[in-house]
Every structure is written in C-alpha cells, then in structure tokens.
Amino acid sequence: MKKATTGTSDEQLDAVFGALADRTRRAILVRLAEGEASVNELCAPFAVSQPAISQHLKVLERAGLISRSRKGTARLSHLEAEPLKEAVTWLGNYREYWEESYERLDELLGAIRREGSGQTDPGRSSS
C-alpha cells in the first residue's frame, strides 16, 4: 500500500505532506505559484508575524517545495514544483482509476449512440 512513485522517498513524501498540512503554508504556495515573493510580500495577506512566516518558509524549504535567493537585502522565495507534482502523482491512483474508467465509458456510450437504436450489442471498443 505504501508504495512511492519512482524517485520519491517515503521521507520526502512525509516532509511534503507535513509541510502541506498547514493552511498558511498552503496559502504561501498558492501565492508563490503566481511568482517569487519576499518575506514582506508574503506577510501582507496573512495575519501572521514576519518571524512566523519565516518559520513556515523554513518548513517549505526543508520539504523541497520552495527555494530561496537573495536580491539586495530581500530574500525571495520561489516555488519548486517538482516535489508537489510527485506528491500529486502519488495521490492520484484513486482518481486515475475513475478518470480512466469514465473515459472508457465515454467511448462506449459514443459507440452505442453511433449504432442508433442501441438494441444490439455494440462493437467492442476495447482499445
């Protein structure tokens, strides 16, 4: 059951999901999906102190979800999409099962409709 996708260790997934468990950290990631930002810029939308934001950024950095660089006196945070994509892939099994099933159902329903009446057995579209 606990099978990680290739290239993703259980430890990294734990760190990623631990980081995502917090609402403020998720909001920070959503903000960073729009582009890099300084700690001050990240503080603005949240009712949280700057040290608290810095703490959240450390957790995100440890999980590999963001990287940080300096620009003058400001420290900018950037979203690192890869671990997130891996986490989404890993979570996707249930969704994939049903997504693919329903895609096949779409094809089958299309085949039935093309036959018109739909009374006879439709051709096998098991491609």
Partner 1 sequence: MTELKVTAEPGSHEVSTEREVEAPRDVVFRAYREPELLAQWLGPRRYEMEIDTYEFRDGGRWRYVHKDDQGNSFGFHGVFHGDPSPDGMVQTFEFEGYPGHVSLDTAVLEDRGDRTLIRTISVFQSVEDRDGMVQAGMADGMREAYERLEELAAKLVANG
- x-or-dash pattern for partner 1, window 13-32, by CB under 8 A? xx--xx-xxx---x--xx--
What distance in Å separates the CA atoms of residue 91 and residue 75, rounded to the nearest whole number? 32
Q: How many CB atoms lie within 10 A of CB 105?
A: 11
Q: Of the candidates 40, 69, 101, 114, which one interacts with partner 1 according to CB under 8 A?
A: 101
Cβ-based burial of 4 (10 A; exposed 0-12, middle 13-18, buried ≥19) = middle
In the bound state with partner 1, the residue whose beta carbon lies nearer, of 38 and 122, is 122
Report which of 90, 94, 99, 30 is spatially closest to residue 66, judged by C-alpha positions.
30
Q: Of the candidates 45, 67, 93, 114, which one interacts with partner 1 according to CB under 8 A?
A: 93
Q: Which residues pair with 66 in a beta bridge?
A: 79
Q: Contact positions toward partner 1, by CB under 8 A?
A: 1-2, 10, 13-14, 17-18, 20-22, 26, 29-30, 33-34, 79, 81, 84-85, 87-88, 90-91, 93-102, 104-110, 112-113, 118, 121-122, 124-127
